[in-house]
Amino acid sequence: MTAEVKTDGGSRMIKIGRYTAALSLTALGILLLLDHAGFLDVFAVLGAWWPAALVALGIELIVIQSIHRQEGKRVRISFGILFGALILGGFVLAAARGSNYHFSSVQEWTRGITWGLYDSDRAKHSFDKGVTSVPLPAPGTKVTVSDVNGNVTLTEGPVSEIEVEAVVYVDVSDMDRARELADRSSVRITDDDGLQIAAYVEPYGIGNLRKPRMDITVTLPQGRVPVSMEVNVGRGSVRLDQLTESSELSLDVKNGGIIGNNVGGRLRAKLLNGDIDLTGLLGDADLEIVNGDLKVRDPQAAISAQTVTGDVSVRGSAVRGDWKASSKIGDIDLAWPEGTGVTVSARTTMGDVHDSWSLDGNGNEVSGTIGDGTRKITAETHGGDISLEKLEP
């Protein structure tokens, strides 16, 4: 029921928000029950799906306005009810999970997120900043590449030093002002805690909340790729292009995606919101997503692929290392060729396992050994189906 009050002028005013508040608290209770049963991580789901509450409020506003349009009643949002529901939900969440949840993991995932308004590559003006040459550091030195707003591409090429190409996008109408902001933006090189390559953009607007975008391409010398590299991106994607000589690479992306092919060495990637699509991983890979899909083709070593809300797909012409795939809410698709020796274990809580290998088990859990069982393949999802496909050799 909506709240109806009489204004000083005698007209009736309808306050909305009760339905949204009630629905949000009900959803929170259901999520906590599922979390307690081990089906999902309530903090991860809330972090990814909280905008659904805004959608519910918008729907409630549209429906109530449509119903009372002919009655001459005004509709207003009851912020008091919504704020009360938010406080109550926070107390319930803290009481249910506050004592046993390690908030350090949340801080680790969200570290590096900054507030502001970000220009995109569709901005009114773009400026080529040219190439910045960076001498190779001493052997064993870690190289870190950082970009708050923009894409980062890593590749190898016939260069003698590390080369960084940059393009700045500024979304202001005045060309002179845009050029001034671009001139103040640059690729900054420091040697604190290893070699640091950072995309700096000059903020502008009210409170300096607007940030231009800077896309950078880092070309590494073939045959002399740094042993250890790290890439941190706030808003943008990371592209790995023919990075075959990489030894150890760590990626941390907040909002964007990770795309790559023929990546060598050990890869560790963490993504908060977006998709991962990789082909031809030459080394071991540990991939994690909170909200997004994960796709890997032809891995040449061991792989661990995990997502909270999203699908996981790993398909290879051979199994040259252990495969581990998991999702809290999403489907899992695994495919490998006949004649491969693997030990398989697959389980889903609310879904079905589709198995073309005739493994032992029932509709939602199967296991078995194929051939000599040298490699291990495990798949687990709480809310989705699992497909285990046999490929022709």
- The verdict on 134 and 199 lying in the same domain is yes
Q: Are 358 and 373 in contact (CB under 8 A)?
A: no
pLDDT digits 0-9 by tens, 87-139 = 887 777 766 655 444 444 444 444 444 545 788 888 899 999 999 999 999 98
- The verdict on 50 and 152 lying in the same domain is no
Element (H, E) at 268: strand 266-281
pLDDT digits 0-9 by tens, 74-90 = 667 777 777 888 888 77
Closest of 128, 113, 117 to residue 172, by C-alpha: 117
- The verdict on 189 and 272 lying in the same domain is yes
In DSSP notation, 357-382 reads: S--EE-SSEEEEEETT--EEEEEEEE
Q: Are 381 and 331 in contact (CB under 8 A)?
A: yes
Amino acid making up residue 261: N
Q: What are the φ and ψ backbone dihedral angles of 69, each rounded to 5 degrees?
A: -60, -40
The residues, ordered by sequence, that sit 6+ positions from 347 with a Cβ below 8 Å of its Cβ are 353, 364, 365, 379, 380, 386
Instruction: Tell me how far apart the alpha carbons of residues 76 and 142 are, in angstroms, rounded to a whole number.
Output: 56
What is the average pLDDT across 315-339? 95
Closest of 389, 367, 370 to residue 378, by C-alpha: 367
Q: What is the chain's mean pLDDT, rounded? A: 86
Q: What is the pLDDT of residue 39?
A: 65
- The verdict on 60 and 25 lying in the same domain is yes
Domain span at 115: 111-292
In a domain, 302, yes or no: no
Q: How many CB atoms lie within 10 A of CB 324?
A: 19
In a domain, 207, yes or no: yes
**The model's pTM:** 0.73
Instruction: Tell me how far apart the alpha carbons of residues 173 and 35 are, in angstroms, rounded to a whole number.
Output: 49
- Residue after which a domain boundary falls, among 101, 128, 159: 101
Q: Are 348 and 364 in contact (CB under 8 A)?
A: yes
Amino acid making up residue 354: H
- The verdict on 338 and 286 lying in the same domain is no
Instruction: Tell me how far apart the alpha carbons of residues 350 and 363 are, in angstroms, rounded to a whole number.
Output: 10
In DSSP notation, 280-298 reads: EE-S-EEEEEEES-EEEES
- The verdict on 147 and 222 lying in the same domain is yes
Closest of 362, 345, 351 to residue 386, by C-alpha: 351
Q: Are 72 and 10 in contact (CB under 8 A)?
A: no
What is the average pLDDT across 181-189? 96
pLDDT of 165 higher than 90: yes
Please give the tally of structural domains in the chain: 3
Q: How many CB atoms lie within 10 A of CB 293?
A: 19
Categorize the per-residue pLDDT at 248 as very low, low, confident or very high, splitting at 50, 70 and 90: very high
pLDDT above 90 coverage of the chain, percent: 58
- The verdict on 8 and 80 lying in the same domain is yes
Where is pLDDT greater, at 391 or 207? 391
- DSSP secondary structure letter of residue 137: P
- The verdict on 74 and 209 lying in the same domain is no
